A and B are shown apart, each in its own frame.
Chain A
Amino acid sequence: MTLTHSYDAPAPAPERLGVLDTLEAESIHIIREVVAEFERPAMLFSGGKDSVVMLHLAAKAFWPGRVPYPVLHVDTGHNFPEVLAFRDRTVERLGLRLVVGSVQEYIDRGELKERADGTRNPLQTAPLLDTIAGHRFDAVFGGGRRDEDKARAKERILSLRDEFGQWDPRNQRPELWNLYNGRHAAGQHVRAFPISNWTELDIWRYIARERIELPSIYYAHPREVFRRDGMWRAVGEFSRPGPEDEVSVRTVRYRTVGDMSCTGAVLSEAATVEDVVLEVAASTLTERGATRADDRISEAAMEDRKKDGYF
């Protein structure tokens, strides 16, 4: 019962692999397991930093082959044009097929109603589930991370969804060792989260290490903004200041990239990836707390969306 080591000693000699190498190896293992065990996988890809890293890991997992499944984007109709252009360029570069589910089409057909608060993020669930069912995707990769939100912290790496796409957080399969059980019945599908164990800082350090390209709005740039709900909102087609809002040009960047109608910018001078790594490490706010109106609705906003079948 004696200590086999001294706690006063310096940290253990560096293991062969650092944190990023270990996380990368785990993610590639998960991506390969899903592709091996499912017939029709697809990967969610929005052009946001997490999905960009996830797709980069997929490209590594199957090298020298191309990523062997389509990518899927639910377009709210309020996306940043820079991000959509980046999305299309990336898909082209990797030779992938892009499947798009459109919130706008649902609104035009009268199947979804615009919300009073103007955000379209919660409206993505119906087009997402219909696209999954329509293409008979049986596994859908998502870039969710457990450090993002309290409900996500309880999510499995492979998470079963019932025929209505719903998540039942109280009845999840135990996930043991690195043995992932992806068995499911017809009509059910599985959401797979290969970057579950990455933090925001890991993502940025990896982007820096691998020199991964991101949409330009992640880096500091001058933009016309106004203040609303304690966040800096961009002036744009889908995000118009009211008569009482004071518009000014500020140097900002985006920490998360979602719908223009609910994503706020942060004041920042971080123009390079190295600057952003330093800024994220020093930040005193969480990324969702700083930038997402949709998560401020209630303590359980993310849990409620996830139960309904959200990402």
Chain B
Amino acid sequence: MTEELLERPALATGTLFRFATAGSVDDGKSTLVGRLLHDSKAILADQLESVARTSAQRGFGGEGGLDLALLTDGLRAEREQGITIDVAYRYFATGRRTFILADCPGHVQYTRNTVTGASTADAVVVLVDARKGVLEQTRRHLSVIALLRVPHVVVAVNKIDLVGYAEEAFARIEADVRRVAADLGLTDAVSIPVSALDGDNVVERSERTPWYGGPTLLELLESLPGTDDEDDAVASFRFPVQLVLRPQGALAPGLDPDAFRDYRAYAGQVVAGTVRVGDAVSVLAPGHPPRTTTVAGIDAAGTELREASSPQSVALRLAGEFDVARGDLIAAADGAPAASADLPASVCWLAQQPLRAGSKVLVKHGTATVRARVEAIEGRLDLEALQAGPAEELGLNDIGHVALRLSAPLPLEPYAVQRRTGAFLLIDPQDGTTLAAGMITSGGAR
């Protein structure tokens, strides 16, 4: 009994893989997600009963028909209107991997939702209706994915049953995808013919597409390299300081006060690379010249580590008396980013009111938040032509290039080099809303 259970996928120790789905209106995305969850056995009996009950009430697919889209609708308004409003997170595991799925709706605010889902994703699955092919919204989704530098793109050519499982229909769309992807610099876009409704090539290979020799959607998701495999081996160490740990007077019960009298460490998450005890590091504080020291110790809740890698949360002790605070960046001394008050960036504008030159904003970068002014709107991306054109302002869902001037210089490096340290938020200083997703386009001058 026990041995048999240990073979179950859920108990195998895999790794975490995050992916997002994006699709146009009515291309069957909810059904695809429902199919993926259902066929990978992530749906339990009581959830399935609830779906069967509602499907029957609505007369879906005759007796015993399951509207798998119901599995993913979370809010009352979504079920009532039959649409998806907000990003929903789903969890399932196979023998190889544990997946976190950010299901991004294509209806309302689709750029905002796709940007949100793509920002943390290792891969994005874009849905295309086999009858309609690559649409403007497909191109927009692919542009956002390219801009956010998601490592892998999978295009699920859905409703392949409705084009009679025709190879030519798939080949035409695959060629279109390839062309758009090449224009955008996406080097790893794979197309798969699927029917979410019937399950063809989602988890199980379909006998109705004998001309297709590639992987099913789940096989592909199980085998794509994770972010950690790809970037981190070569990435330079980066550690934004979250907090200073100085427990004098407020030591956890049971610890010896004498042993921790002079304890001082910097708490944070390794966002890139690896750090080892004895490594030379630079401390980069906004508005101050960099200082160099060495790592005296790495603590993980009472365990001393010899090294720590992304994405571990640890506390670093540094050699010598140092004034380090939240908002500072600790980086490998060799290859630390240069600081600059001029921030050139691409932004996805997510607010109703437009962004114009002269606007005052807050920039949240790592653990630092500084005031900033928009110096210039340098262009807006035409997502249809996939080119930047001139613009006076950026409106809701626009993607554009801007020049920002910061109130204090920050260590800046391009998003193209480091997703985690090249990203920032623009925040409204008045009401605190998140205005934009920002990506640094070039680093600070030395």
Binding site for B on A (CB under 8 A): 1, 3-7, 9, 11-19, 21-26, 28-29, 32-33, 35-36, 59-68, 93-95, 146-147, 150-151, 153-154, 169-170, 172-179, 181, 183-185, 196-197, 199, 201, 277-278, 281-286, 289-290, 299-300, 303-304
Interface residues of B in 153-192 (CB under 8 A from A): 178, 181-182, 187-190
Q: Is the CB of A32 within 8 A of B313?
A: yes
CB under 8 Å from chain A, chain B span 215-257: 215, 219-220, 222-226, 228-229, 232, 242-243, 245-247, 250-253, 255
Q: Return B393 CB to nearest CB of chain A, in Å.
A: 20
Chain B CB within 10 A, most for which of A1, A17, A26, A64: A64
**Cβ–Cβ contact B302 & A29, under 8 A:** no
- Tell me, rounded to whole Å, the shortest Cβ–Cβ distance linking B22 to chain A: 14
B75 touches A32 (CB 8 A): no
Task: Kindly provide the distance from the CB of B33 to the nearest chain A CB, expressed in whole angstroms.
Answer: 11
Across the interface, B16 reaches (CB within 8 A) one of A19, A147, A282, A299, namely A19
Check A181 against B242 for contact (C-beta < 8 Å).
Answer: no
CB-contact partner of A174 in B44, B76, B299, B434, under 8 A: B434
Instruction: Tell me, yes or no, whether B2 is within 8 Å of chain A by CB.
Output: yes
Cα distance A150–B253 when bound, in Å?
Answer: 39
Compute how far the CA of A147 lies from the CA of B268 in the bound complex, rounded to whole angstroms.
Answer: 27
Stretch of B6-14, B136-144, B196-204, B288-296 on the interface side: B6-14
Instruction: Report the minimal beta-carbon distance from A56 to chain B, rounded to whole angstroms.
Output: 10
Check if B120 is an interface residue, CB within 8 A of chain A. Answer: yes
Q: Is the CB of A11 within 8 A of B46?
A: no
Distance, CA A15 to CA B228, complexed state (A): 7
Extra contacts besides A5-B224, A181-B427, A289-B46 (14): CB < 8 Å? A12-B223, A12-B226, A19-B98, A22-B15, A23-B16, A60-B301, A62-B245, A64-B255, A67-B252, A150-B73, A153-B88, A154-B89, A173-B434, A278-B2
Mark B402-446 against chain A: 1 for CB-CB distance below 8 A, else 0.
000000000000000001100111010001111001000000000
Mark out the residues of chain B between 326 and 349 whose CB falls within 8 Å of any chain A CB in the assembled complex: 326
- State how many angstroms separate the Cβ of A33 from the closest Cβ of chain B: 6
Known A153-B89, A176-B437; judge A9-B8 contact (CB<8 A): no
**Interface flags, B71-103, vs A, CB<8A=1, else 0:** 001111101000001111111010011101000
Please name all residues of chain A whose beta carbon is closer than 8 Å to the beta carbon of B119 when the two chains form the complex: 176-177
Are B215's CB and A28's CB within 8 A?
A: no
A277 to chain B: which residues have CB within 8 Å? 11
Given A22-B16, A32-B242, check contact A154 B425 (CB 8 Å): no
Nearest CB of B to A177, in Å = 5
8 Å CB contact of A154 from B87, B313, B315? B87
What residues on B are CB-neighbors of A196 within 8 Å?
89
Bound CA span A60–B252, Å: 10
Evaluate contact between B299 and A15: CB separation under 8 angstroms.
no
Distance to closest chain A CB from B42 (angstroms): 9
- Which of B74, B98, B113 counts the most A-chain CB atoms under 10 A from its CB? B74
Residues on the A chain within 8 Å of B11, using CB:
277-278, 281
Contact of B367 with A by CB under 8 A: yes
Query: How far, in Å, is B2 (CB) from chain A's closest CB?
Result: 7
Residue pair A289, B432 in contact (C-beta under 8 Å) = no
Q: With A65-B252, A181-B434, A199-B91 as known contacts, state yes or no: A7 contacts B178, CB within 8 Å.
A: no
| Known contacts A285-B44, A286-B44: A64-B222 contact under CB 8 Å | no
**B189: A residues at CB distance < 8 A:** 1
Residues of B within 8 A of A16 (CB): 228, 232, 309
CB distance from A269 to the nearest CB of B (A): 11
Contact B44 A185 (CB under 8 A): no
The chain A residue sitting closest to B428, CB to CB, is A183
Q: How large is the interface on B (under 10, 10 to 19, 20 to 34, 35 or more residues)?
A: 35 or more
Residue of A nearest to B252 (CB): A66
The CA of A64 and the CA of B225, in the complex, are separated in Å by 36
CB-defined contacts of B73 to chain A, threshold 8 Å: 150
Q: Is there a chain A Cβ closer than 8 Å to B209's Cβ?
A: no
Write out the residue numbers on chain B whose beta carbons fall within 8 Å of the beta carbon of A28. 269, 313
A7–B214 CB distance below 8 A: yes
> How many contacts A-B (CB < 8 Å)?
238
Are B309 and A64 in contact (CB-based, < 8 A)? no
CA distance A196 to B89 in the complex (A): 9
From B6, B11, B246, name the one whose CB has the most chain A CB atoms within 10 angstroms: B11
A151–chain B nearest beta-carbon distance, Å: 6
Interface string of B252-295 (1 = CB under 8 A from A): 11010000100100011100000000000000000000000000
CA distance A76 to B226 in the complex (A): 45
Q: Mark B31-49, 1 if CB is under 8 A from A, else 0.
A: 0000000000000111100
Asked whether, in the complex, the Cβ of B245 is within 8 Å of the Cβ of A64, the reply is yes
A286 engages B47 (CB within 8 Å):
yes
The reply to whether B225 and A154 form a contact with Cβ atoms under 8 Å apart is no
Selected from A29, A153, A175, the residue in CB contact (under 8 A) with B90 is A153
Q: Does B225 lie within 8 Å of A12, measured CB to CB?
A: yes
Interface pair B45/A299, CB less than 8 Å apart? no
* 29 interchain pairs, CB-CB under 8 A: A1-B187, A3-B188, A4-B187, A4-B225, A11-B14, A12-B229, A16-B232, A29-B268, A32-B267, A62-B247, A63-B301, A147-B91, A153-B74, A154-B86, A154-B89, A169-B85, A170-B75, A172-B86, A173-B433, A176-B434, A178-B420, A197-B91, A199-B91, A281-B8, A281-B11, A285-B44, A286-B47, A289-B46, A303-B74
Query: Counting CB contacts under 8 A, is B371 at the interface?
Result: no
B206 within 8 A of A: no
Known: A4-B188, A179-B424. A61 touches B44 (CB 8 A): no
A288's nearest neighbour on chain B, judged by CB, is B46
On chain B, the residues within 8 Å of A24 by CB distance are 313
A-chain residues with CB within 8 Å of residue B432 when the two chains form the complex: 181, 183-185
Q: Tell me, in angstroms, the Cα distance from A6 to B219 when the chains sit together.
A: 10
B178, A14: Cβ atoms closer than 8 Å = no
Chain B residue nearest in CB terms to A4: B188
Cβ-closest chain B residue relative to A28: B313
Which residue on chain B has the smallest CB distance to residue A157? B89
B253: A residues at CB distance < 8 A? 66, 93-95
